Structure 1
Amino acid sequence: MDDAEVDLLPEDVVKVVDKARSRGGAAVGDAAGGLKEKVEAVEAKAQEALAGLIHEGQEMAAGGARKLLGDAAYEKAGPQLEVLGALQPFFVPVIGGVVLLGGLRVVLGPRMGGRAGKLLCVPVLALALGLLSSDEASADVSAVLALALRLDDVVKLAVASAFFAATYLVADLCLGAGDGGSSAPRRRDLFRRYPRKLPPGRKEAFLHMLPLVLQTVTEELEPVFALPLDVYEYVKALMDYNVPGGQLDRGIMVLECMEQFEQARRFHKLGVEARCQAVTLGWCVEMLQASFFVADDVMSGANMRRAQPCWYKRPDVAQNAVNDAVLLKNFVFRVLQRHFGDKPYYARLQDLFLTVSYQTHLGVLLYLTRQSYTSPKDLNRFTQERWSSIAKYRIAMYSVYLPIAIGMVVNGVTDDAAYQQLEVVSAQMGEYIQAHEDYLSGLRGRGGDISSSKCTWLVVKALQKAGMDQRRALQQNYGVMDPAAVATVKALYNDLGLEGDFHQYEEEAYRNIKKSVRSPALRELPKGLFDTVLGAIFNNKSSHLT
């Protein structure tokens, strides 16, 4: 009954209503007060019981610690145990948060679990801050700090190190979302698998790292891409057959370059992790070369490569080798992504590999189109410009430029002039490498370049010096699969004095390269870097870089 209705009642009835209201309110108030007292009594008993359980647990833990350590050791460790006791109120929310976040990763998967875990960090942190803001927690923290002041420096350092290590592990286990949201091993997991020590020798270090580099590709085929076991075995065979082998000169050059940068800038050797990363980048160069070799063998119809049958010659491969060459090149970028995707130089590193790969394929195109498949032989295609471009793009850019440019990128060299001058130097070195190989094949070898009608330094030089009769002899015999024709061309080379011309060219090439490497544009590069490369090229007459 509201007040408006009460006003309509007679006066005596109103008095009765008011009296009833006052009695009812008092009864409700008494009941509420009694209930509150009962609740408070229950809470007090619960807190007392909880405190008793905690105290019993502490006593049991202390007794167990005393029994485990012995009385003397227990007394000595008293301050440290007091610290742990003071931190006890924080154990439950922290452990609960870890279990909750870890459970989310198991139930929702690495990607969604990681995202949800990061969102749930907000209420977990709020809970921890709430505990810290309470009077009891503040007293506990004060006690911890007071106790810590009594600890010696070694114990303080150990406690701090343990705290930060535990924080990192919790974040790693509960909040990591994996590499690209996939179930593949995370990038930091790859770093953890780097060996603690590499063999001191460069080639030995390369071979030691090879299984991990190959595993970077093969280990994700089934869990990430759901490929069957037979595909895994095929890819593994592809990489085992084609990537290792040879002298690993290009890949080792990456490691040498990185070592010299470290020595020149920081005056010490590469650390183990940096050395592992340098070797990984070196294997990327070797893997890129393997893709070129597999494709080249198919196009040229070669039979042998590195003292074993070419990959496409295997009965279980055949024309699949075309796709395998593409796969090998793509594996390079997968390794780069998984090992270096979080590095600040990753984008420039990826662009470097893409650019050099593109340039190399242009060089191969120049090499393949040296003569037409449908038109008569045209010696006018064998020009100095075409030969120089083949040497630069087919050989120099990935054999010389790429290994050195990798070291520049990783070490933060951003001056475009430095990269342009490096390209000039690399082209000069590539020309010498190609010229030396042409000299060995055309004058000292069986003349395979002659019968295959290749655009070589020798045939270009011969066409520049030949008279009409000699040019006619070249037209009739060059590119003919006949030993007599090959012998005729070789005799013509000797008549033109091309061996002496080559040795003169060799001296001029060395002087020009030495002049180019002294360019101010290369001032950011270690001084001894090009001495190593020049020594490998000019002191090894086998020109092992090809």
Structure 2
Amino acid sequence: MKMLSRSSFLARLATLTPAVATRSVIDEKYYSTSDAPAKHPMYSPSERRDFMAVFTDLNRQLSLEDLPKELVPLLGKHMTKCIQYNVPDGKKNRGFSVPFTYKLLTDKSQHTEENLRLAMVLGWTVEFLQAFFLVADDIMDQSETRRGKKCWYKQKDIGLTAFNDSILLETCVYTALKQYFADKDYYMSLVDLYQEVTKFTSLGQALDLISAETFQQKIGKAHSLDHFTMERYKAIVKYKTSYYSFYLPIALAMRLAEIKRTDFYEKAERILLSMGLYFQVQDDFLDCYGDPEVTGKVGTDIQDGKCSWLVVMALQRADHKQTKELALRYGSHKEEDVKWVKNLYTELGLKKLFNHYEAEFYDDIQDMIQQISGDELPQQIFHSLLARIYKRNK
């Protein structure tokens, strides 16, 4: 396994700073949605360069060095392109949360070259898992764009080969875990966590897809809206999004820091799953109201008949006539039908309702974080995550 030279890696790591002081109140101006760097003060340019340097090594290792030798000339170029196209271009909040959290959980004496590199490698395994989910999800949803460019399966000469590529991206997670952590006491704990979270995410995706498929089964000329309930919505979000996007990175860092108390994991899980729900509600809102130039994708929840927060809330507020019309138009790809649904959302005041939900969530999550004592877990783990997602626009 090729690694950065000690001198070059130490030079990069020398600029890594301890976590910034916790901000107990999120200031609207400080975390301006139009000013991305200000919204992420814990990420310095040098830290991002260090993180990306580890990805470069991993890409070479996973796409070339770890392939059977006879497959390198046949698949090496494809693997490199697949990884480069799908893994590194997102916001990387999930991945960077691992080294950031690890440093908060451990004493400076543990911030050795090896440990910090392991934390960054572990962070990239989350990004590889994310890429696996997104490549497959885009195929299932027949999406057009992702992160501001064409979905992988829409690329020339890729097509449904992308489905197998998603599986290859998942194998990269376990290859990296074995290469870097097989000699660690917590290795199997990492593997078990990944298997459990992947299972949860797949179950959430199944519920999401089945909900959309059930919706497409028409009763006469109208769709059935009966299954668009808040109970179902929360179950989809919990398993499809919250575990891998919020709980996984923090739980990985806790394992790397060799934290074993189950009650600490349970307290973290409660807060992180709540953040995951808020994050998905935001995502649903941005799918309808976000600017594709900013979000990097064109929203299709209405056309796909998804069980989104907006349609669930619309059904709670709509009268009989509106509900009947919504059943006819929701899930249609016709421009006039999509426009009608969006107009209904406006008429029902869903933008104002979202703003109210967001403010209420913020107060509730602050209370939950304050209940965590410093002897258990640093509150800044959760404050930093909150800062990254609160009032985001992409």
- Smaller-chain TM-score range? 0.7 to 0.9
| Distance in 2 of aligned mates of 1:229 and 1:269 | 41
The equivalent of 2:381 in structure 1 is 529
| Distance in 2 of aligned mates of 1:387 and 1:203 | 35
- Residue 447 of structure 1: how far off its partner (Å): 6.2
| Distance in 2 of aligned mates of 1:367 and 1:330 | 24
| TM-aligned CA distance change 1:522 to 1:432, over 3 Å | farther
| TM-aligned CA distance change 1:362 to 1:295, over 3 Å | same
The equivalent of 1:462 in structure 2 is 314
- Residue 306 of structure 1: how far off its partner (Å): 2.1
Structure 2 residue aligned with 1:362, among 178, 187, 203?
203
Letter in 2 for 1:412: E
The equivalent of 1:375 in structure 2 is 217
- Residue 527 of structure 1: how far off its partner (Å): 2.5
| Distance in 2 of aligned mates of 1:403 and 1:470 | 42
- Tell me if the contact between 2:373 and 2:379 (Cα under 8 Å) persists in the aligned partners: no
Letter in 1 for 2:384: T
Structure 2 residue aligned with 1:432, among 278, 285, 288?
278
| TM-aligned CA distance change 1:427 to 1:315, over 3 Å | same
Letter in 2 for 1:393: Y
The equivalent of 1:59 in structure 2 is none
- Residue 325 of structure 1: how far off its partner (Å): 0.6
Structure possessing the higher radius of gyration over alpha carbons: 1
Pairing 1:208–2:53 present? yes
The equivalent of 1:166 in structure 2 is none
| TM-aligned CA distance change 1:355 to 1:447, over 3 Å | closer
- Residue 425 of structure 1: how far off its partner (Å): 1.4
Q: Within 5 A, what are the aligned runs for 1:2-401?
A: 185=1, 195-198=9-12, 200=15, 201-217=46-62, 218-223=64-69, 226-262=70-106, 266-267=107-108, 270-372=111-213, 375-376=217-218, 377-401=223-247
| TM-aligned CA distance change 1:474 to 1:521, over 3 Å | farther
Instruction: Please give the TM-score of this superposition, normalised by the length of structure 1.
Output: 0.60
- Residue 528 of structure 1: how far off its partner (Å): 1.5
- Tell me if the contact between 1:438 and 1:458 (Cα under 8 Å) persists in the aligned partners: yes
Deviations 1:388-415 (A, max 9, x none): 1222222211111111111111112212
- Tell me if the contact between 2:237 and 2:276 (Cα under 8 Å) persists in the aligned partners: yes
- Residue 520 of structure 1: how far off its partner (Å): 4.9
Letter in 1 for 2:392: K
- Residue 268 of structure 1: how far off its partner (Å): 5.8
| TM-aligned CA distance change 1:522 to 1:362, over 3 Å | farther
Structure 1 residue aligned with 2:258, among 405, 408, 412?
412
- Residue 191 of structure 1: how far off its partner (Å): 8.5
- Residue 457 of structure 1: how far off its partner (Å): 0.9
- Residue 422 of structure 1: how far off its partner (Å): 2.1
| SS of structure 2 residue aligned to 1:198 | helix
| Distance in 1 of aligned mates of 2:342 and 2:151 | 29
| TM-aligned CA distance change 1:413 to 1:335, over 3 Å | same
Greater share of residues in helix? 1
- Residue 496 of structure 1: how far off its partner (Å): 2.0
Q: Report which stretch shifted further, 342-351 or 414-423.
A: 414-423
Letter in 2 for 1:375: Q
Letter in 2 for 1:307: G
| SS of structure 1 residue aligned to 2:12 | coil
- Tell me if the contact between 1:190 and 1:339 (Cα under 8 Å) persists in the aligned partners: no
Letter in 2 for 1:221: L
Structure 2 residue aligned with 1:507, among 359, 363, 367?
359
- Residue 299 of structure 1: how far off its partner (Å): 1.2
| Distance in 2 of aligned mates of 1:344 and 1:216 | 24
| TM-aligned CA distance change 1:208 to 1:452, over 3 Å | same
- Tell me if the contact between 2:212 and 2:304 (Cα under 8 Å) persists in the aligned partners: no
| Distance in 2 of aligned mates of 1:401 and 1:355 | 12
Identity %: 34
| TM-aligned CA distance change 1:273 to 1:370, over 3 Å | same
- Tell me if the contact between 1:254 and 1:407 (Cα under 8 Å) persists in the aligned partners: yes
| SS of structure 1 residue aligned to 2:213 | coil
Deviations 1:486-519 (A, max 9, x none): 2222222222222222111112211222222334
- Tell me if the contact between 1:371 and 1:378 (Cα under 8 Å) persists in the aligned partners: no
Deviations 1:408-454 (A, max 9, x none): 11112212222223222122111111111222333456863222211
| Distance in 2 of aligned mates of 1:522 and 1:213 | 35
| Distance in 2 of aligned mates of 1:502 and 1:232 | 46
